[in-house]
Amino acid sequence: MITTASLAPYLGGALALGGIAVAASQRRELRVRWCAWAVGVPLVTAAFWWGRPGAAALAILVGVIAAMEFGGLMRLGKADRAVLAAAVTGVVLAAWLAPGQELRAVGIGALAVAAVPLLAGDADDGLRRLGAGLLGLAWLSVLAALVVLGAGALALFVAVSVADIVAYFAGQRLGGPRLSPLSPAKRWSGTLAGAAAGLGVLAVLSALSWPMAVAAAVGGPAGDLLESMVKRGAQAKDAGRWLPGSGGLLDRIDSLLIALAVLLVLR
């Protein structure tokens, strides 16, 4: 059984090796990104170490920030963003305090999201606001899986993060056909190399199963493309600018979100 305690040495070792590699590369952007990881990894690990309350607190924090970033990309008003954040929070709380009631919480959240443009009587832009809000709810509510999966979600996050990094560098080196017009910089060669790396990480962490493998190899790249589509529609490069080396938090968790969704379906 995967536990946070069993994952902690691997996370610490990977962080240390990454620091050595970044120092050797002498690339400033990589140093900035590693510093963000050096702060984030211990905090995330500590949250999962706390158990379901810690995972719920982490999911709520991430969900609220991601909802604000998504609302900014979709040009949603303050009321739309606040209700979306509250709806995502409600789903996470249901996963923690009322297991089995998550779908009901999603339904209540959808009604709340729909109520904002309806009560405002927004005939001109209401349909777009409604569609964006429901997409955000469906996308970000998957964070409730952090509570359900526990350390398994942490292992998946490590796998898709490594896969992202390997896909980026391998795609640059190997070249070949583009993965999608949504993300011209990504190549099939890099995606396949990243998938292999992600599966290797799961094997090392003793977390490899066919649902986890599909989630990392297929869900991860799909999540990245979904956010690319949203950002292209919004004509934005990043979801935010506050997270060093990654833009916004949504830019960091895009692969994880769809990977979690795939894992939940296959479980």
Considering its fold, how many domains does the chain have in total? 2
Q: Which residue has the tokens 């952007």?
A: 29
Q: What's the whole-model pTM score?
A: 0.92
The last residue of one of the domains, among 114, 149, 184, is: 149
Same domain, 238 and 154: yes
- Kindly report, residue by residue over 201-240, the tens digit of the pLDDT: 999 999 999 999 999 999 999 999 999 999 988 888 888 8
The last residue of one of the domains, among 126, 149, 172, is: 149
The last residue of one of the domains, among 149, 181, 209, is: 149
Terminal-to-terminal C-alpha distance of the chain: 16
Beta-bridge mates of residue 247: 243
pLDDT in tens, the chain (267 residues): 788 888 888 888 888 887 787 777 777 777 877 788 888 889 999 999 999 999 999 999 999 999 999 999 999 999 999 999 999 999 999 999 999 999 999 999 999 999 999 999 999 999 999 999 999 999 999 999 999 999 999 999 999 988 988 898 888 888 888 888 888 888 899 999 999 999 999 999 999 999 999 999 999 999 999 999 999 888 888 888 877 667 889 998 999 999 999 999 998
Same domain, 158 and 260: yes
Same domain, 28 and 159: yes
Same domain, 182 and 238: yes
Same domain, 145 and 197: no
For residue 230, give its domain range.
Answer: 1-49+150-267
Closest CA to 152 of 87, 202, 114, 99: 202
Same domain, 60 and 113: yes
Query: What distance in Å separates the CA atoms of residue 166 and residue 160, rounded to the nearest whole number?
Result: 10
pLDDT score of 245: 66
Same domain, 209 and 253: yes
Same domain, 254 and 138: no
